[in-house]
Structure formats: C-alpha cells, structure tokens
Amino acid sequence: MKLSLENKKVVVAEVASVAQTALSLVAADYSGLTVPEMTELRAKAREAGVYLRVVRNTLARRAFEKTTFECVSSALVGPLFLAFSKEEPGAAARLLKQFAKDHEKLEVKIISIDGQVMDGSALEAIASLPTRDEAIVKLMLVMRAPMEKFARTLKETQGKLVRTLAAVRDKKQAEG
C-alpha cells in the first residue's frame, strides 16, 4: 500500500517520538507469520507495554535520526517489525522470545540498547534482564544485608554478656 508524503511524515513522527523515550529496540523478521499470528503478537505487546510497529526501513531510518537507535539504521534490511520497550529494557525481548517458542518463523534480527547494536543471538541475554520490580527487590536485599548484619553484631555483644553472667551465677550456685 502506497503512503502519501503526509502519511509518511506522520509515521516517521510517531516512530521518532516512541524512539526518543524507548529503552530498547528489537527488530524481527515477520515473514511467514499469518495475520492472526501478528494480531496475537500485537495484543501481547500491548499487554506487556511494548510498542510494536511494521514500518518501512527507509521511514525507520529517518525516524531514528538523532536517537539512540540511529546505530541500527544500516542493519535495517528486509521485512521487519520494530518492538520498542517503553518501561523495561528487556520487555520486548521477553515478549519475542516467548512468542518465538510457538512461532518458529519469527526471527529476531537486531537488538539495540543504549546505542549498542547486537544481533538476534543476544535475545536470550536481554530477555533475562530483570524487570523493574525485580531489580528494585534485589537492590533492597543488597542494601538490607549490611544493616541486618550490624544489628545482629550489636545484639550478639549483649547476648554474650548475659550468657557470661549466667555462667558465673550458675558456677557460684554450684559451689555454694
């Protein structure tokens, strides 16, 4: 379907605005996926907070200008859809990894985070990144451990004194 110049500008502006705020990008080849499968993927993407869009590569290159995803412009080849993670860096990778288990025709080609380009083989590593909530929990556990150890150390000093006094008392009672 041919797009008019105005429609192309709208698409470029939309993708550029998402790219400005997105944390990561996954580009995958959708050749061989049926319309119902793509519809299913789009629904799952909405649930996961992932922006999913099929865009012509030339329009995507224009949209990526002056963003952290400009580095992928030369790698955009063939029929690709773009999946942007808006809330968590690994959200799009997790979504496509899960979807690819059931749909073998889906092939991840490009992954980009913080201006770095990786090929599709990095999908597993990016998908295993912790979610925001998991990262916060891990940080809190790391921060809590030294305080717990300090509190146990303070408590142990008093406990040791009480046990020593009790031992002295028991010894005196046994002697006398």
Least Cα distance to 22 among 73, 82, 75, 76 occurs for 82
Please, what is the end-to-end C-alpha distance for the chain in angstroms? 104
Dmax (CA) for the chain in angstroms is 105
Confidence class for position 155, pLDDT limits 50, 70, 90: confident
Residue 1: pLDDT band with limits 50, 70, 90:
low
User: pLDDT band at residue 142, thresholds of 50, 70 and 90?
Assistant: confident
Domain ranges (residues) in the chain: 5-129, 130-176
Pairing label, strands 116-119, 24-29: unpaired
DSSP state of 31: T
Spell out the residues 6+ positions from residue 25 whose beta carbon is closer than 8 angstroms to its own: 19, 69, 72, 82, 83, 84, 85, 92, 110, 111, 112, 113
Residue 58: predicted pLDDT: 85
Percentage of the chain exceeding pLDDT 70: 97
Q: pLDDT tens for residues 51-107?
A: 888 888 888 888 888 888 888 888 888 888 888 888 888 888 888 888 888 888 888
Residue 38 bridge partners (DSSP): none
Architecture of the domain delimited by 5-129: 2-Layer Sandwich (3.30)
